[in-house]
């Protein structure tokens, strides 16, 4: 049985058990995820999204096999066992190709899911909830069409897994996530408050998918559908957040308690630990997070750069100019942020840097940004950061350095800053239901 199935079963049995999912292509975020998994002895569920990683390269320039190689390379570097890693695909479907007609978009989506299975992904979010060019933009988008397309992708996954298993006989069968009301990946930019899926709509969606799985001969695969994506009233916007309110979700939560599937919680970024805990208690056994992690990464990098400017005030020629480099790259290629950040030039400048939508994550793989990051970490390596300055800009990490839990090295400080956000998810999911308390020195 897949470990996600085991965790979902515990959650459905009434235990506070869940698993958090790292949806990011950032090597530093992945490092932080692996470090926390190693320290807490919990599995690392790491997902790539369809626009981030696909057979055409996505915005990271990686195909699924490249993403898998990156994760396993970082795991080897950090001494994390492969069997403690779950690779997964998020929003796998026609999302990157909505400008194409249905058949062409779905053909590309099939190639995407096949490439994921052949790269060793074992958790697949079948996301066909978006219209493509040939769909009527003015007509309701039928759940049945969504299900037909999703099951088409599932059938492609099953065929691919039969091939994959020939060379990997111990591979676990893939598990699937379905849904027709899926929050827009990457956050909501219109400012609308996120709604909550009606109970009957959730149950009807499951039934329509079940019928479609049976119709095409994938009934056995439906037994491995572990979760349904629904709208839970949580979302992040340019400068605001929709907080989880269990009073709004009581209907869909009660309805989902009566089916084997859990809720997969999208857009849980920036929710408080208390809210995340309530979500897990309410049947959200899978909590997904992505932009909030690169948001924490950006905060830490800017804090480190402030320290760098103080330490090397008399030799400015060696400074990394990380923030200026990131801004320059974003201005030169505005396609990833321009449609999200409105307002005046000043407001856009603030959004590019600080927005919860965190569109700067699309530029972290740029060669100039990578070089500036390396220069910044190099400048602050070898314990050159005075504790008093560390306290000013990274107080949480300062106290960990003081207590001996953390080295006063920039990479350690950066990963721990990201890890502090991860800790909220580990606690909320009760450490995959194992309830393992953290001890001093466990997390380094």
Tens of pLDDT, residues 65-88:
999 999 999 999 999 999 999 999
Tens of pLDDT, residues 254-309:
999 999 999 999 999 999 999 999 999 999 999 999 999 999 999 999 999 999 99
Tens of pLDDT, residues 425-442:
999 999 999 886 443 344
Helix (H, G, I), strand (E, B) or coil at 347: helix
CB 116 within 8 A of CB 156: no
CB 385 within 8 A of CB 307: yes
Helix (H), strand (E) counts: the chain: 17, 10
Q: Which of 430, 425, 431, 323 is nearest to 373 (CA)?
A: 323
196 strand-pairing partners: 232
d(CA 271, CA 219): 36
Helix (H, G, I), strand (E, B) or coil at 202: helix
pLDDT of 435: 81
pLDDT of 439: 39
pLDDT of 188: 58
CB 403 within 8 A of CB 440: yes
pLDDT of 282: 98
Q: Give yes or no for residue 185 having a pLDDT over 80.
A: no
Tens of pLDDT, residues 29-72:
999 999 999 999 999 999 999 999 999 999 999 999 999 999 99
Q: Per 3-state DSSP, what percentage of the chain is helix, strand, and coil (rounded to 5)?
A: 50, 10, 35
263 strand-pairing partners: 228, 284
Tens of pLDDT, residues 330-369:
999 999 999 999 899 999 999 999 999 999 999 999 999 9
Helix (H, G, I), strand (E, B) or coil at 378: helix
Per residue, the 3-state secondary structure of 135-153, as one string, reads: CCCCCCCCHHHHHHHHHHH
pLDDT of 150: 98
d(CA 123, CA 300): 31
Pairing of strands 241-242, 235-236: antiparallel
Report the Cα–Cα distance between both ends of the chain, in Å, rounded.
Answer: 31
Sequential DSSP letters for 5-69: HHHHHHHHTT----EEEEE---HHHHHHHHHHHHHHT--EEEEEETTTB-TT-TTTTB-HHHHHH
- Which residues touch 159 (CB under 8 Å, ≥6 apart)? 114
Tell me the percentage of the chain whose pLDDT exceeds 70.
Answer: 96
Would you say how long the chain is, in residues? Answer: 444
- Which residues touch 48 (CB under 8 Å, ≥6 apart)? 23, 25, 58, 62, 64, 67, 88, 89, 90
Q: What domains sit in the chain, N to C, each tagged with a CATH number?
A: 3-289 (3.20.20.70), 295-423 (1.10.400.20)
CB 329 within 8 A of CB 366: yes
Region of residue 173 (phi > 0: left; psi between -120 and 50: alpha; otherwise: beta):
beta
DSSP label at residue 284: E
Give the relative orientation of helices 322-332 and 345-354 as an angle to the nearest 10 degrees: 120
pLDDT of 194: 79
Q: Give yes or no for residue 199 having a pLDDT over 90.
A: yes
- Which residues touch 190 (CB under 8 Å, ≥6 apart)? none
pLDDT of 444: 38
Q: Give yes or no for residue 231 having a pLDDT over 60.
A: yes
Element (H, E) at 241: strand 241-242
Q: Give yes or no for residue 192 having a pLDDT over 90.
A: no
Sequential DSSP letters for 77-138: HHT--GGGEEEEEEEESSGGGTTS-HHHHHHHHHHHHHHHHHTT--EEEE---S--TTS-TT
DSSP label at residue 405: S
Tens of pLDDT, residues 101-158:
999 999 999 999 999 999 999 999 999 999 999 999 999 999 999 999 999 999 999 9
């Amino acid at each position: 049985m897949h470990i996600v199935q085991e965790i979902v079963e515990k959650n459905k049995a009434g235990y506070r058990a869940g698993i958090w999912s790292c949806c990011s292509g950032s090597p530093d975020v992945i490092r932080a995820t692996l470090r926390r998994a190693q320290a807490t002895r919990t599995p690392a569920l790491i997902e790539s999204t369809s626009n981030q990683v696909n057979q055409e390269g996505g915005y990271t320039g990686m195909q699924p096999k490249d993403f898998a190689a990156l994760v396993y390379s970082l795991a080897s570097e950090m001494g994390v066992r492969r069997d403690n890693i779950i690779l997964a695909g998020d929003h796998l479907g026609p999302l990157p190709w909505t400008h194409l007609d249905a058949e062409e978009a779905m053909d590309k989506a099939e190639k995407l899911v096949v490439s994921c299975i052949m790269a060793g992904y074992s958790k697949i979010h079948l996301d066909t909830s978006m219209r493509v060019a040939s769909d009527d933009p003015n007509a309701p988008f039928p759940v049945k069409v969504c299900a037909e397309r999703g099951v088409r992708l599932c059938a492609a996954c099953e065929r691919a897994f039969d091939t994959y298993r020939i060379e990997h006989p111990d591979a676990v069968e893939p598990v699937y996530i379905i849904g027709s009301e899926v929050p827009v990946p990457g956050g909501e930019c219109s400012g609308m408050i996120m709604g909550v899926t009606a109970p009957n709509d959730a149950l009807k969606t499951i039934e329509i998918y079940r019928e479609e799985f049976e119709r095409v001969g994938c009934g056995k695969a439906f037994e491995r559908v572990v979760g349904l994506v629904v709208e839970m009233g949580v979302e992040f916007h340019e400068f605001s957040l929709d907080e989880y309110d269990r009073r709004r979700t009581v209907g869909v939560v009660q309805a989902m308690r009566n089916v084997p599937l859990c809720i997969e919680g999208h857009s849980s970024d920036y929710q408080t630990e208390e809210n995340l805990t309530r979500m897990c208690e309410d049947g959200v056994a899978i909590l997904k997070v992505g932009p909030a992690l690169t948001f924490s990464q950006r905060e830490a990098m800017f804090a480190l750069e402030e320290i760098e400017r103080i330490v090397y005030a008399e030799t400015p020629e060696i400074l990394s100019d990380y923030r200026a480099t990131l801004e320059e790259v974003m201005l030169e290629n505005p396609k990833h942020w321009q449609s999200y950040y409105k307002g005046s030039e000043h407001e856009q400048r603030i959004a590019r840097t600080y927005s919860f939508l965190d569109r700067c994550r699309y530029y972290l793989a740029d060669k100039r940004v990578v070089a500036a990051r390396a220069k910044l970490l190099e400048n602050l390596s070898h314990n050159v950061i005075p504790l008093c300055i560390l306290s000013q800009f990274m107080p949480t990490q300062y106290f960990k350095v003081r207590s001996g839990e953390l080295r006063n090295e920039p990479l350690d400080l950066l990963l721990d800053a990201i890890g502090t956000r991860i800790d909220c998810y580990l606690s909320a999911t009760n450490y995959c239901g194992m309830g393992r308390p953290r001890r001093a020195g466990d997390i380094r």
